[in-house]
Amino acid sequence: MEDQGNKSTILIVDDMVSSILVLDEVLKDAYHTFFATDGQSALNSLSELRPDMILLDIQMPDMDGLEVCKRLKSDPKLARIPVIFMTALSEDQMETAGLELGAVDYITKPFNPAVIQLRVKNQLLLKQYQDHLEDLVQQRTARLQETTAKLQKAMETVAASDRAKTRFLMIISHELRSPLNGIVGYSDLLTTMLEEGDSLEYAQGILTAGHRMTAIVNDVFEFVRLETGMVQLVRQPYAIRDMIAKAVKAIRKQYRDKELAFSSEVAEDIPEMVEGDFGYTRQLLTRILDNAFKFTAAGSVHLTVTLSQDSPQGQRLLFSVRDSGEGVTQERQDEIFGHFTYGNNDLMTQHRGGMGMGLAICRQIVALMRGQIWLASSSAAGSAFCFAVPCQEGERPESSGAVAPSSELPASYTGTAPPPNRLQQLRHALVNNNLAAIRQLSSLLPQLPDSCRSTEGRQLKKAVFSLNYKDATQIVDRIIATYPHI
């Protein structure tokens, strides 16, 4: 029997008072009972009364039980109240219709008190479990929404922090470049003015340190640009073998003090001209070669370039650089392409220069080019760094204003050089927001005759490129377009 202080409420709806009295006698000890003798009165009473169950007669005048049930289930506030139909034995079809409308059970007339008590009790227990489950769902939904809101706020905080960090790095990288250009420019001038001795050594030491610092700043700047999606690829035809030869030449010159054996093999089926992003392909190759030479104390470095046809995206250039260095342990291979990471050391213990960002930049570039990069390494056999980038066969450009990239251009070049003859025809015009850069160029200009010879012209061009190639060439292109008579 129910606790008298916590009785469930039952609404009995029947047009026959005798049936109501029978049901009241059966249920009154365990439940609070209320009555209505027609469907409309029952619906009206529900504006104030919220019963735990409704016992509803099917056959009633004016509005039968089926219509009452239909209206109940159409109201979201009343739809969860369980309905038990009361029917005569001959009303099988109506029983089916009632169950289809959402009734949970039915009892037949004449009434069996024991059956009534059991069916009412079971349905009320089921409703209690359903209500409890619904409460749990609502509580957990509320907690989930609260947690989601906190996570969203945390993500927004992290995103804002990342934006601030990126902006900070961009500003720092940009602001460091101007004084570094001055340090490199002045120390470079000093090396040409000083005689052999300690002073020249000191100037060369400053110049070397300045170049290293500039490389670090450039790496940070490039990393931020790639990380924030500020980079767009530039597709153009270029001579692949020429690009490889000049990248190798630059790296071998940089590490000329290391007595490493170097060999290379370029597949014969690679076309003479390919179309792709020249600047970033060369930067990838240069960085991978630099990594191999830097971390190989003795032994050899071997470069292989092949053409792969097995990619769903079409042809790909496959570069593989194998060295006989110390290798990378299996535990470190998964994180080798992360930023501030070295092969078997971290940033705080390495002594080879740089910030451990080279391979992270390679990973970003390869992702931008929709390629792949991977490592095969063991402590016994060194490392093999490989990357594959999409390519198409290209056509050699016509001999117009545009020229193919040459060995004088830096590895990060992605633009089109102005015609050398136009550059040589320019009178002395210096455009730079850095005083040291102006003075460095000014020291070169008096050495040039009015009709610039090719050697001096290339020297001037190199000086412009070494300061800021992209900005300088854009300015020169604009000047030539505006003043074609120059």
DSSP3 helix / strand / coil % (the chain, rounded to 5): 50, 15, 30
Mean per-residue pLDDT, 360-372: 90
pLDDT at site 150: 92
Rounded CA separation 133/389 (Å): 56
What confidence tens digit (pLDDT) does each residue in 38-95 have? 999 999 999 888 899 999 998 898 899 899 999 999 998 898 899 999 887 566 667 7
List helix spans (H) across 37-112: 39-45, 65-74, 92-101
Cα(448)–Cα(429) distance, integer angstroms = 13
pLDDT value at residue 11: 94
pLDDT band with cut points at 50, 70 and 90 for residue 263: very high
Within 8 A by CB and 6+ apart from 188, the residues are: 207, 440
Residue with more model confidence, 239 or 344: 239
User: How many domains does the chain divide into?
Assistant: 4
More confident residue, 10 or 452: 10
The answer, yes or no, to whether residue 426 has pLDDT greater than 80, is no
pLDDT exceeds 80 at position 113:
yes
pLDDT score, position 347 = 44
Contact 82, 53 (CB under 8 A): yes
pLDDT value at residue 462: 41
In a domain, 127, yes or no: no
Is 128 among the domain residues?
no
292 contacts 323 by C-beta, under 8 angstroms: yes
Q: Per-residue confidence at 240, pLDDT binned at 50, 70, 90?
A: very high
474, containing H or E segment: helix 454-482
Last residue of a domain, one of 111, 143, 168: 111
CATH number at residue 285: 3.30.565.10
Q: Is the model's pLDDT at 160 over the cut of 60? A: yes
In a domain, 53, yes or no: yes
Residues 247 and 328 in one domain: yes
Calculate mean pLDDT across residues 259-265.
90
Report d(CA 32, CA 203) in Å as an integer.
101
* CATH code at position 97: 3.40.50.2300
> How high is the pLDDT of residue 304?
93
Residue 215: per-residue pLDDT: 82
Residue range 170-181: average pLDDT?
76
Q: What is the mean pLDDT of residues 468-486?
A: 47
Average pLDDT on 383-387 reads 90
Q: Do 384 and 240 belong together in one domain? A: yes
Q: Is the pLDDT of residue 413 over 60?
A: no
Tell me which of 61, 86, 111 is where a domain ends: 111
In a domain? residue 124: no
Q: C-alpha angle 271/276/281, rounded to 5°?
A: 95
Residue of higher predicted confidence among 363 and 164: 363
Residue 198 or residue 19, greater confidence: 19
- Angle (deg, nearest 10), helices 92-101 and 65-74: 10
Confidence band (pLDDT; 50, 70, 90) for 180? confident
Q: Are residues 286 and 364 in the same domain?
A: yes
Confidence of residue 339 (pLDDT cuts 50, 70, 90): low
Q: Is the pTM of this model over 0.85?
A: no
Within 8 A by CB and 6+ apart from 285, the residues are 243, 244, 247, 319
Mean pLDDT across the chain, nearest whole number?
A: 77
The answer on pLDDT for 469 being more than 50 is no
In a domain, 19, yes or no: yes
pLDDT over 80 at 229, yes or no: no
170: domain CATH number is: 1.10.287.130
Q: Considering only residues 140 and 231, tell me which one the structure prediction assigns the higher pLDDT.
A: 140
**Both tokens of residue 463?**
């000086």
pLDDT category at 13 given cuts 50, 70, 90 is very high
Domain that holds residue 338: 236-393
Assess whether 361 and 247 both reside in one domain.
yes
pLDDT for the residue 312? 65
* Predicted confidence (pLDDT) at residue 432 exceeds the cutoff of 70: no
Q: What pLDDT is stored for residue 301 in this prediction? A: 92
| Whether residues 241 and 194 fall in one domain | no
pLDDT in tens, 216-226: 888 877 887 88
> Same domain for 374 and 249?
yes
Q: Give pLDDT, residue 465.
A: 39
| Residue 245 in this model has a pLDDT that exceeds 90 | yes
Interatomic CA distance for residues 268 and 279, integer angstroms = 23
User: Are 378 and 327 in a shared domain?
Assistant: yes
Residues 280 and 368 in one domain: yes
**65 occurs within a structural domain:** yes
Same-domain check for residues 33 and 98: yes
Residue 445 per-residue DSSP state: G
As a whole number of Å, the end-to-end CA separation of the chain is 108
Same-domain check for residues 363 and 443: no
**For the chain, what percent of residues have pLDDT higher than 70?**
74
- If asked whether residues 283 and 327 sit together in one domain, one would say yes
Residue 394 has pLDDT above 80, yes or no: no
Residues 222 and 242 in one domain: no
Is residue 178 pLDDT above 50, yes or no? yes
The residue type at 335: E
- Does 321 score more than 90 pLDDT? yes
- Does a structural domain hold residue 71? yes
Q: What is the mean pLDDT of residues 198-211?
A: 86
Residue 172 lies in a domain: yes
